[in-house]
Amino acid sequence: MTAAELEDHRRFLESILGCSVALTDAPREFLATFQEANCFDIGLQPVLTQAYLVDFVTHMDKSVVHEIQEPLGMAVTVFWLGGELVVVGPYTGQGLHPGDAEALLGQLRIPSAHLQAYKLYRARFPIVDTEYVRRGAMALAELAGHGQSVVGMQRVSGTTGPITPGAGEPPHSASFEVINERYAVEQEFMNAVSEGDEERAFAALQGMSGIPQPPSYLNTPLLGATILRIMARVAAQQGGLPPVTIDAISQTHAQRLHRAGPAADVNRTSQAISSMVSEFCRHVQRHRRRPYSRLVRQVMDEISLHLSHNVSSRQIAARLHVSESHLARRFKAETGHTISEHVAQERVARAAHLLVTTAQPVSGIAAYVGYEDANYFVKVFKSVHQLTPTAYRRQHTEG
């Protein structure tokens, strides 16, 4: 196998696992860089230091893939392909649930001053199943022509370094001033989303990348997008957006990010983040502007979410646990329109937006907003705008 082919296979394995996969014929130099980039603290994680790893890979059985696990929850897998060392990770086997970090540090008798820095550190790394790492390592060995020489996988448990209570300063990812600036700009981002202020939200995003030492998660596109999505979810809920709306928006963008995969380029991920933030802000703003009761706002949110489908007042009433007749009376009393009239208005409004902002054919837009019969859609659209969809698009996109 040529070096170019091996590099292609390395990249493919990296995209599948979602974590770093490196090949090196100069382990000492590489592992020095590895320690600098990935070791939380050399006193707490000697397993991830250059000294430990160089000694380990020098003396380990070269026919075995080794996964080195350490008590702080991180793991790295190492194995040899001829004269080249393969280093997979670091990664973690599971996410942190509320209270896990506190319990772990307490169990290891690590001072609580390390807690916040540890949480930020742990969030930088992907969650990867050991079995996938094992299969990937075996597959890479097979493709590289070393399938007969690499015969198994072994887990090795490392230990933390000695901890002297009260000794030394807790590790930080930056100076106190920079850390405070990071948290301030993240809070500004969440405040902006909670108020539906799209312009402020984007300014805060730019602020995150513009401070002297940006949050580390921004260096990993997929991880950064995921963390920002969670922040936007929490902010939208603080802004009063119903959970059903938040979940629908969040899942839509999570699926898009998942399809893009961990190897998605920065520009593509940035566009996905912008689209997600815009959608959260628009929904929050729209929700906050409605001078209606909570029940009627919920109906409007339900309609907006299910606009492409057959929106039934009976189904909405059942989901909201009220009678259909009560729902109809309340909606008409507060809005002056029936639910079916509101559905038609919303469909036409969304269609108008798509006509101006996309090149999709009219028939496709009709189907997207819930009209299987394109001719009927044209009739409804013209009754609202006094123009056919085609004429409306021409009028709003020319000149």
Q: Please write the tens of the pLDDT for every residue from 12-54.
A: 888 888 888 888 888 899 998 888 888 877 777 888 888 888 8
Q: Taking a C-beta distance cutoff of 8 angstroms, is the pair 205, 189 a contact? A: yes
- For residues 144 and 250, state if they share a domain: no
- For residues 189 and 269, state if they share a domain: yes
Q: Is the pLDDT of residue 127 over 60?
A: yes
Q: State whether the Cα torsion 217-221-222-228 is positive or negative.
A: positive
Distance between CA atoms of residues 166 and 147, nearest Å: 50
Section 101-127 average pLDDT: 78
Q: Write out the two tokens for 98.
A: 């509320």
How high does pLDDT run on average in the chain? 80
- For residues 241 and 367, state if they share a domain: no
CA angle 239, 294, 252 (to 5 degrees): 55
- 266 or 102, which is more confident? 102
Cα distances from 315 to residues 194, 230, 348, in angstroms, run 29, 29, 22
**Is 169 part of any domain?**
no
What's the number of domains the chain is made of?
3
The confidence band for 310, taking pLDDT boundaries of 50, 70 and 90, is: confident
The confidence band for 290, taking pLDDT boundaries of 50, 70 and 90, is: low
Q: Is the pLDDT of residue 70 over 70?
A: yes
Q: Is the pLDDT of residue 212 over 90?
A: no
- 112 or 277, which is more confident? 277
Residue 101, sorted as left (phi over 0), alpha (psi -120 to 50) or beta, turns out to be: alpha
- For residues 190 and 148, state if they share a domain: no
- For residues 26 and 145, state if they share a domain: yes
The helix (run of H) or strand (run of E) holding residue 24 is: strand 21-24
pLDDT score at 259: 64
Query: What CATH number corresponds to the domain at position 342?
Result: 1.10.10.60
- 95 or 340, which is more confident? 340
Question: How does strand 74-81 pair with strand 21-24?
Answer: unpaired
**Domain-ending residue, one of 99, 123, 157:** 157
Section 280-309 average pLDDT: 80
In a 3-state reduction of DSSP, which class is residue 81?
Answer: strand
pLDDT score at 397: 81
Distance between CA atoms of residues 144 and 82, nearest Å: 9
What are φ and ψ of residue 46, in 5° steps? Answer: -60, -25
Percent of the chain at pLDDT exceeding 90 = 10
Q: Is the pLDDT of residue 124 over 90?
A: no
Distance between CA atoms of residues 209 and 189, nearest Å: 12
Window from 1-15, 320-334, 357-371 with minimum mean pLDDT: 1-15
Q: Taking a C-beta distance cutoff of 8 angstroms, is the pair 392, 355 a contact? A: yes
Residue 69 domain boundaries: 3-157
As beta bridge partners, residue 92 has 74, 127
- 376 or 151, which is more confident? 376
Query: What CATH number corresponds to the domain at position 184?
Result: 1.20.272
pLDDT per residue over 164-208, tens digit each? 333 344 444 455 566 677 778 888 989 999 888 999 998 888 887
Distance between CA atoms of residues 238 and 196, nearest Å: 11
Q: Is the pLDDT of residue 233 over 90?
A: no
- 268 or 340, which is more confident? 340
**Is 164 part of any domain?**
no
Cα distances from 46 to residues 50, 102, 111, 268, in angstroms, run 9, 21, 17, 37
pLDDT score at 42: 77
Helix axes 294-305, 313-320, angle to 10 degrees: 130
- For residues 187 and 143, state if they share a domain: no
Q: Is the pLDDT of residue 327 over 70?
A: yes
- For residues 265 and 197, state if they share a domain: yes
- Number of neighbours of residue 206 by Cβ within 10 angstroms: 10
- 35 or 114, which is more confident? 35
Q: Is the pLDDT of residue 163 over 70?
A: no
Section 346-373 average pLDDT: 87
- 178 or 71, which is more confident? 71
55 exposed, middle or buried (CB, 10 Å; 0-12, 13-18, 19+)? exposed
pLDDT score at 60: 84
**Is 168 part of any domain?**
no
pLDDT score at 172: 45
Section 330-348 average pLDDT: 90
- DSSP-derived letter for residue 23 is E
Window from 55-64, 153-162, 230-239 with minimum mean pLDDT: 153-162
- For residues 142 and 34, state if they share a domain: yes
Q: Is the pLDDT of residue 107 over 60?
A: yes
- For residues 153 and 244, state if they share a domain: no
Omega before 90 within 30 of 0, i.e. cis: yes
